[in-house]
């Protein structure tokens, strides 16, 4: 048949190939071959194709020593743009990045709902509202797939927490499941045609989703008409027969653990029939055929498209999602020619992404301090308070023998106790958070091997220095031969490495300024670990994270920051979370900022009234200083251009136009899922039912810090002349309203349209978002904003007694404004008769 790479891009007939495949070849196509590739059938010219994370960038095939990539802002930041056209452009960039990385399918977007501020992957998701999340998902899918790359909305469905995510049973009423948790996926299906879906880890009302025929076959395929490929989340296939019969086409990753050699016996005893296998194989082959025009060779080398155009788009997307929460007395924008200080734990730290599957190695990452200095080179800096959950990475402080920043890793097959052992590999490492699941070497035949890490450290001041090690494996750290950290003799379970690793072990040693010390770490991989975490996803060789920082005296740092704040005319106070506070594998334990941040904010505000608080987080944080803070910007995790985007907003290069895609409660105790969040005996009750986010806060008249859809501007807008039209032929409601820019800056406004039923036959939210648009308006000008949406979708709720959607006869109100709490414009329409429906 010749070279398989030459055959890989020839078109083929799926049914013809299906007939020619033998049973072993069919079984091979039911699972991946490794972390990122499907199986090939060389004799028939069927190539392997590559998939890649993720929701805010394309990592490629490696966690360890990966090829750099464009990092987009996190999901909540993307949704905060309320700009589907811009999200479509950003998704096109993702598609091009995938092609550069040799990937035909992107594992994203993340379409789950934000039940609670504490969700570990909340930053990955778009919104607490299914319409906003669904529209953002559709825009992302359409953008990615316009490049010929497949998109994979995930995690279908109700994967809304990390606690016991593989075992937990999400107990949800059918109404809430339909109206809230399935709805964004349903909207995505209505407005786009995704080529793939990924199933969730969890159970829903009993069965695991990956083997639930109701959700996969009945809802996704039959009701919604999905005719693409369905894959599992990684290690999220828990059965052979059940998952195949339910319609889970592809088990990931490979080599197979639940299919492979287990499918043959299932066929032999009649639990599976060949046509069950064919149904799954057919979808895999259809996907391979769809991506053939990309002409990506099997196991293609990974490249980059780092360019000025990429940087400009990333900067635009990041700044468009920043939300001006508060701006008393027009403190912002700041003046570039006035003295300025950038203070805080996130100032000189690039919090560009959350952790877990969303993480990647960016082309570069601009800190807020760098961003401000790019526009005011004399900006001063103070730490103020530590904001790290774990000590900062040691690679920022170490040099290799040849002068590069970082560490030298040497790999061994034998433990340190073996005399005369010889290394089999030597690798330069510039990131001391090392997940080794995809590290490969021809002499390594199992997950068990050993490594050393070495670098030179020359302190800039005499001080007590703290060193730390978190590990999925075992490790010891030495400084000039002295044992400083022992994470081998005694190990405690922690949240590192997707929840499989240890707590951070910390040791300290006094070091002298200017003296060079040899830092040495002995490491052994995951099989040497002294405990296992039930329900955690264990990946191959595990990993190690090494940190270092001088011991911080919080009182001294605070005093220095306050003293600096008093000497300048303007202060950017950069606080928030980072990829270690918000990550896949575990949930947040509190809604608070890291210890010391609130005290720092209060002290700096008191010292200088011209202070803006810039908060970086993917989900809400508590703000006990809310009333006294002059100005607050919610900056999320902004990708490569994080710092430049923040500076653009602070200095007024860009007029802020972001709106919150989720409510910010005052306290965690106020949120609707508070009593029912996290797993209890492997189950979580969705007790808030349909009352998620603003639906709950409005129904209970509970005060929030900032409402859903809120966001200020440096200019002012006036809406007027609301007009409503209904096209019964197309099932469209068309809302038109004038938006006038009455201020002194060009800007953009988001028109939000909510619908309320006057006399529903059961309890419903006071109003629900049904449509929106973002319009740019120059100062002094007027623009007509048009929002259209489905009347059927706008009026219906799920009737459990009928097992269908129902649009009831009666009067409905259309409410228009610029946040869920500010909808001053009102019109109404009638539904003439009650109708029931299913499908899209």
Active-site residues, by number, are 233
Tell how far CA 255 is from the center of its chain: 26
Q: Which residues of 316-345 are buried (b: 16+ CB within 10 A; e: fewer)?
A: bbbbbbbbbbbbeeebbbbebeeebbbbbb
Starting at the edge strand that comes first in sequence, how are the strands of the sheet with 543-550 ordered? 433-435, 543-550, 463-472, 505-511
DSSP structural state of residue 556: H
Percent of the chain as helix, strand, coil, to the nearest 5:
25, 25, 45
Residue 728 structure tokens: 């019964």
Alpha helices in 700-767 (DSSP H): none
> Is there a contact between 476 and 417 (Cβ–Cβ < 8 Å)?
no
- Name the residue among 129, 197, 115, 208 with its Cα closest to residue 162: 115
Q: What single string gives the DSSP state of each residue in 383-442?
A: --S---SSPPBGGGTEE-TTS-BSEEEEEESS-TTSTT---SEEEEES-SEEE-TT---T
Burial of 790 (C-beta count, 10 Å sphere; 0-12/13-18/19+): middle
> Is there a contact between 335 and 613 (Cβ–Cβ < 8 Å)?
no
Task: Say which residue the tokens 């002349």 belong to.
Answer: 721
Tell how far CA 542 is from the center of its chain: 22
- Name the residue among 72, 635, 57, 100 with its Cα closest to residue 314: 72
Alpha helices in 476-588 (DSSP H): 496-499, 554-567
Residue 273 structure tokens: 């029939």
- Name the residue among 477, 478, 421, 483 with its Cα closest to residue 449: 421
Peptide bond into 109 cis (omega under 30): yes
User: Rounded to the nearest 5°, which phi and psi values hold at 283?
Assistant: -70, -35
How far are the Cα atoms of 183, 510, 770 from residue 732, in angstroms, in the given order? 18, 70, 12
Rounded Cα distance, 359 and 388, in Å: 17
CA atoms within 13 A on the CB side of 502: 28
Rounded Cα distance, 584 and 234, in Å: 13
Q: What angle do CA 513, 519, 521 make, to 5 degrees?
A: 155
DSSP structural state of residue 329: G
Parallel, antiparallel or unpaired: strands 196-198 and 150-151: unpaired
Which H or E element spans position 771? strand 768-777
Residue 100 structure tokens: 């550069």
Rounded Cα distance, 70 and 617, in Å: 20
Sign of the C-alpha dihedral computed for residues 699, 703, 709 and 713 taken in this order: positive
Residue 102 structure tokens: 């040799």
Residue 381 forms beta bridges with which residues?
A: 342
> Is there a contact between 324 and 629 (Cβ–Cβ < 8 Å)?
no
Rounded Cα distance, 69 and 360, in Å: 7
Question: At a CB cut-off of 8 Å and minimum separation 6, what does 216 contact?
Answer: 199, 209, 210, 230, 246, 247, 248
Residue 635 structure tokens: 């900056």
Rounded Cα distance, 684 and 540, in Å: 30
Phi-psi region of 824 (alpha: psi -120 to 50; beta: other; left: phi over 0): alpha
């Amino acid at each position: 048949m010749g070279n398989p790479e030459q055959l890989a891009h020839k078109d083929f007939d799926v049914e013809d190939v299906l007939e020619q495949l033998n049973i072993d070849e069919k079984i091979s196509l039911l699972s991946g071959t490794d972390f990122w590739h499907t199986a090939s059938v060389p004799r028939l010219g069927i190539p392997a194709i590559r998939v890649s994370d993720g929701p805010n960038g394309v990592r490629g095939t490696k966690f360890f020593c990966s090829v750099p990539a464009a990092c987009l802002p996190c999901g909540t930041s993307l949704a905060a743009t309320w700009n589907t056209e811009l999200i479509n452009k950003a998704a096109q960039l993702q598609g091009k990045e995938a092609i550069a990385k040799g990937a035909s399918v992107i594992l994203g977007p993340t379409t789950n709902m934000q039940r609670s501020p504490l969700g570990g992957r909340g930053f990955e998701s778009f919104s607490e509202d299914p319409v906003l999340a669904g529209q953002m998902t559709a825009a992302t899918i359409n953008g990615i797939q316009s490049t010929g790359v497949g998109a994979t909305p995930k995690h279908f469905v109700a994967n809304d927490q990390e606690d016991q995510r593989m075992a937990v049973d999400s107990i949800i009423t059918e109404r809430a499941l339909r109206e809230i948790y399935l709805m964004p996926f349903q909207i995505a299906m209505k407005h786009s045609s995704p080529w793939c879906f990924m199933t969730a880890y969890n159970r829903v009302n009993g069965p695991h989703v990956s083997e639930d025929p109701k959700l996969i076959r009945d809802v996704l395929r039959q009701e919604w008409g999905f005719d693409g490929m369905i894959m599992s989340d990684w290690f999220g296939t828990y059965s052979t027969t059940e998952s195949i019969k339910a319609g889970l086409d592809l088990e990931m990753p490979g080599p197979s653990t639940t299919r492979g050699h287990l499918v043959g016996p299932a066929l032999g005893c009649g639990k599976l029939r060949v046509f069950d296998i064919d149904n799954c194989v057919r979808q895999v082959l259809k996907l391979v055929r769809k991506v053939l025009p990309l002409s990506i060779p099997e196991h293609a080398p990974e490249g980059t498209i780092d360019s000025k155009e990429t940087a400009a788009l990333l900067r635009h997307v990041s700044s468009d999602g920043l939300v001006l929460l508060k701006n008393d007395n027009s403190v912002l924008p700041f003046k570039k020619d006035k003295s300025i200080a950038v203070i805080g734990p996130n100032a000189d730290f690039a919090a560009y992404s959350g952790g877990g599957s969303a993480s990647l190695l960016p082309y570069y990452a601009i800190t807020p301090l760098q961003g401000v200095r790019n526009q005011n080179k004399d900006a001063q800096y103070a730490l103020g308070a530590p904001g790290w959950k774990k000590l900062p990475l040691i690679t920022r402080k170490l040099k290799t023998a040849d002068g590069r920043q970082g560490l030298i890793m040497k790999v061994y097959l034998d433990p340190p106790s073996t005399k005369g052992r010889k290394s089999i590999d030597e690798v330069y490492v510039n990131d001391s958070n090392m997940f080794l699941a995809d590290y490969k070497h021809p002499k390594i035949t199992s997950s068990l091997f050993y490594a050393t890490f070495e670098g030179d450290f020359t302190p800039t001041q005499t001080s007590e220095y703290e060193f730390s090690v978190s590990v999925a494996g075992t490790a010891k750290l030495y400084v000039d031969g002295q044992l400083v950290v022992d994470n081998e003799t005694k190990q405690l379970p922690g949240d590192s490495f997707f929840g499989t690793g240890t707590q951070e072990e910390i040791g300290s040693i006094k070091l002298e300024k200017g003296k060079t010390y040899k830092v040495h770490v002995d490491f052994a991989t995951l099989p040497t670990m002294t405990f296992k975490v039930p329900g955690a996803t264990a990946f191959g060789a595990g990993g190690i994270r090494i940190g270092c920082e001088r011991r911080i005296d919080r009182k001294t740092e605070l005093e220095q920051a306050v003293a600096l704040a008093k000497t300048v005319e303007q202060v950017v106070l950069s606080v928030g979370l980072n990829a270690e506070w918000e990550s896949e594998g575990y949930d947040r334990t509190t809604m608070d900022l890291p210890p010391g941040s609130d005290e720092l904010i209060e002290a700096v505000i008191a010292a200088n009234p011209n202070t803006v608080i810039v908060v970086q987080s993917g989900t809400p944080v508590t703000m006990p200083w809310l009333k006294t803070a002059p100005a607050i910007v919610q900056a999320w995790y902004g990708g490569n251009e994080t710092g430049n985007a923040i500076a653009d907003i602070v200095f007024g290069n860009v007029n802020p136009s972001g709106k919150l895609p989720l409510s910010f409660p005052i306290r965690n105790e106020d949120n609707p899922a508070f009593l029912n969040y996290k797993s209890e005996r492997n189950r979580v009750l969705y007790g808030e039912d349909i009352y998620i986010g603003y639906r709950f806060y409005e129904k209970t008249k509970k005060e929030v810090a900032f409402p859903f859809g809120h966001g200020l501007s440096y200019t002012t807008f006036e809406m007027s002349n609301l007009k409503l039209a209904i096209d019964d032929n197309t099932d469209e409601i068309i809302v038109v309203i004038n938006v006038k820019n009455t201020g002194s800056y060009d800007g953009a406004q988001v028109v939000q349209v909510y619908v309320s039923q006057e006399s529903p036959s059961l309890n419903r939210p006071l109003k629900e978002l049904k449509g929106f648009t973002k319009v740019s308006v120059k100062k002094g000008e007027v623009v007509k904003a048009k929002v259209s949406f489905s009347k059927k979708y706008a009026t219906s709720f799920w009737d459990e007694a009928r097992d269908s959607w129902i649009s009831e006869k009666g009067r409905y109100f259309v409410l228009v404004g610029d946040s869920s709490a500010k909808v001053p414009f009102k019109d109404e329409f009638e539904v003439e008769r009650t109708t029931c429906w299913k499908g899209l």
